[in-house]
Structure 1
């Protein structure tokens, strides 16, 4: 029997420039409470330092604040940009979060998605993935509580260890970011950690899903490690409503600005170029803007293409206004999650069995009621019995 799929949200976040950033960030924290209410499993916050829209600079601060508002939901960074941090300092902060959240903190690790961030810090964009590899390799050891000595061209560790051993044993949940290139898959396999595939529904990343997982498995085997599909997370953009027409109407609120940001500001190859944004997203199968059934079909498509994964993360795109956005998350929880669960649904089994046996059971109930009426009549006559009930009783000699 396969494991139950988990669900969550990736909160970049994506907030347009005409919004109050303070209130938008408050909404990002409120979302963690809402998702916990609807039985989602995890929330991931991003790290960005430029381009205006993605305003969270410290995932750790968001995790700490969200942890105070929630009790169960897991909270992660998606991702912590390793080239921007000395690995010992980053490991220290997440070890502390692991204790503060009683084991609910997770860390996603990547090279940094915005070239403009790296440029401001004088980091060569061409070296970011090499720096990510350096960082992940020691972060895994540090967050296991090991003592590490290492020297690269951008950091040094001398007999270094985190101050407190992690609350979670043997280490907190760790994932490597992956898109199209094999960088994240190789890091995942080399260290035996999870993988988080951004933009999994975009055409290039979708095509690379199975290949990247195969790479992770091969590299893991070569390094004496194991990777687990249940630790593989895929990010997919969806907005759910009662009808496709309503979903399209909802996203008119903000989808054009979102697409412009990703096409022309962030310079990320996520949104198909040209033409109407909604049509481009739907015709390419990159996004779901529709009903729960459309969401279910997209998840099945991802399962088939990837060969299986553990968690689906909904892209926190803010295409619709806040009320419609909350409604979308609620509808997904109510109508999509149960259908994806591969456990036999005993409610449906019971319903089908009762439907098939209804004539027989209804006859038994009617016979039992008629018997009690007849017994009352036999004891006390027809007093207090409605004439309609007496008329409905079988006549003597009738079966």
Structure 2
């Protein structure tokens, strides 16, 4: 069965349950990125959080600099840099330096920031974050373009004859992605500036699934108005995915972690009324799967779920697996390994040549093996020995060749 062509990566916020050594958590996250690189996944995105006790990385750029030294080919992105928290010159300057340190493997993911505690500590009015994001984004893009000095003044940053000393490592520049949850603004900014959209496809507990098809329309409409184009191949969807040997086994491996995430993070920290949603204790993972917030099962079941997401969204270029610490360290690594071994090949075309060759040999096996048996028997008779009797192959059936 032919499936759509999709790339794969990971979106590692990260969110870790409290109570574990935070220093070791950082090293475990670095180890996970190393593992993704060994498995051949395309990219890893690392988030920025400063409060709440679950998000443990405050500077994705510092983390990615260390990850770059441990990896060979995986692309590395900030997932995301919260633009209202930083002066745009520093955002642009840091990412271009990282671009050179990684020899062009870095991507800049940007957003408004999602943690209310972070904005509060920085004295930022949540109602101003989207405006600030749009203003900063324009400045960052202008600086990265490097076409001349940038002068801009807003009520929260000033640029005066600003220009970067470094230029991006590659002539094509640095890929810039913008995160989108449910509101139209981020998709509209992606379209207006020709950026790569990065959408969260999983609903929050108790929420409705985002209308991904409509989200893409926002980007297309804004792109058309600005005289730009957006490509579905550049659209990334972020979703919880876990690959087990079977769905039953996978659900059991996730049960405790999913409950801690839903009740400990969204219930206790974010304040969502999880109990009022009618989710029974111990049934959190079932609720997440049923709502579409997670794709869980055997490799083929996960592949079917991803294909269904591709169909319902209208099509996207890459799927990013959320790193949410639902499973143990060992099981998380096994899930990614099963993803890379059994799911990714169904979407990247790497099996097509093998399938074609297998079918070709099966369809022609009578001719091939008969010739081989004849040559083998002639070797005996040419030497004056009695040739052994060997069974001829059974012709391929229509069912085998269909």
Question: Would you say same fold, with TM above 0.5?
Answer: yes
Contact (CA 8 Å) 2:202, 2:240: kept in 1 or not? Answer: no
Closer/same/farther in 2, CA of residues 39 and 111 from structure 1, 3 Å limit: same
Please tell me whether residue 225 in structure 1 is matched to residue 228 in structure 2.
Answer: yes
TM-score between the two structures when normalised by the length of structure 2: 0.90
Confirm or deny: 8 A CA contact 2:45 2:76 kept in the other structure: yes
2:271 is the alignment partner of 1:264: no
- 2:374 maps to 367
Shift of 1:211: 1.1
How far apart in 2 are the matches of 1:143 and 1:22? 33
What is the CA-CA distance between 1:3 and the residue it aligns to? Answer: 9.0
For 2:313 and 2:59, the matched residues in 1 are separated by 31
- Deviates most, 330-339 or 222-231: 222-231
| 2: CA distance, partners of 1:220 / 1:170 | 20
Residue aligning to 1:242: 245
In the superposition, relative to structure 1, how do residues 2 and 190 fare at CA in structure 2: closer, same or farther (>3 Å)? farther
In structure 1, runs of 5+ residues without a counterpart are 395-399
Label 1:268 to 1:371 Cα distance change in 2 as closer, same or farther (>3 A). farther
- 1:182 aligned residue (184, 196, 199): 184
Q: What is the correspondence of 1:1-399 to structure 2 with a 5 Å cutoff?
A: 4-146=5-147, 147-200=149-202, 206-267=209-270, 273=277, 274-275=279-280, 276-342=283-349, 345-377=352-384, 382=385, 392=389
**Match of 1:252, SS?**
helix
Aligned to 1:397: none
Q: How far apart in 2 are the matches of 1:199 and 1:114?
A: 19
Residues 106 and 268 (structure 1 numbering): CA distance in 2 closer, same or farther, change over 3 Å? farther
SS at match of 2:344: helix
CA distance in 2, matches of 1:270, 1:135: 35
Which one is further off, 314-323 or 156-165? 156-165
Alignment partners' CA distance in 1, 2:164 and 2:284: 47
Q: Report SS of the residue matched to 1:40.
A: coil
- Residues 1:59 and 1:278: Cα distance change in structure 2 (over 3 Å): same
Paired positions, count: 384
TM-superposed deviation, 1:152 = 1.5
User: What are the ranges of 5 or more consecutive residues in structure 2 without an aligned counterpart?
Assistant: 392-402
Q: Which is further off, 312-321 or 264-273?
A: 264-273
Distance 2:89 2:227 in 1: 25
